[in-house]
Amino acid sequence: MANQQYASCIEACNACASACDFCAASCLQEQDVKMMARCIALDMDCAQICRLAAGYMARGSEHAKAICRLCADICQTCADECGKHQMSHCQECAAACKRCAEECRRMAA
């Protein structure tokens, strides 16, 4: 439906946004929320830029590559932070962020 050249990157952005939002909400239910503070903050940043990037790509925006370049950086930072925590919502989020960072880097190239 959307721009076909962007299909797999849009899909990765949507999956990453969902994983980040789910991770943020799950972190808020953990016993030691304080330890998760940076994870939650990065989840918020990452979910928002991923959804923005999906929209730019779907519209075939002339700024889509620039957004994807920045999105890759934010996804990578979030992947690194989430990867430090053993809960499944963090590990799954780290994997989704890492995949999205790769897709976005490929798109921005």
| 5, 8, 12, 41: which one binds a second copy (CB under 8 A) | 41
Q: Does 25 engage in binding with a second copy (CB under 8 A)?
A: yes
Site for a second copy in 56-85 (CB under 8 A): 56, 58-63, 66-67, 70, 73-74, 77
Considering beta carbons, is residue 73 or 102 the nearer one to a second copy?
A: 73
| 65, 83, 87, 92: which one binds a second copy (CB under 8 A) | 92
- Among the listed residues 96, 83, 86, 78, the one whose alpha carbon sits nearest the alpha carbon of residue 40: 78
Considering beta carbons, is residue 44 or 83 the nearer one to a second copy?
A: 44
DSSP string, the chain: ---GGGHHHHHHHHHHHHHHHHHHHHHTTSS--GGGHHHHHHHHHHHHHHHHHHHHHHTT-TTHHHHHHHHHHHHHHHHHHHTT--SHHHHHHHHHHHHHHHHHHHHH-
Computed over its alpha carbons, how large is the radius of gyration of the chain? Answer: 13
Instruction: Name the residues that contact a second copy, by CB under 8 A.
Output: 1-3, 10, 14-15, 17-22, 24-25, 28-29, 31, 33-34, 36-37, 40-42, 44-45, 47-49, 51-52, 54-56, 58-63, 66-67, 70, 73-74, 77, 92-93, 96
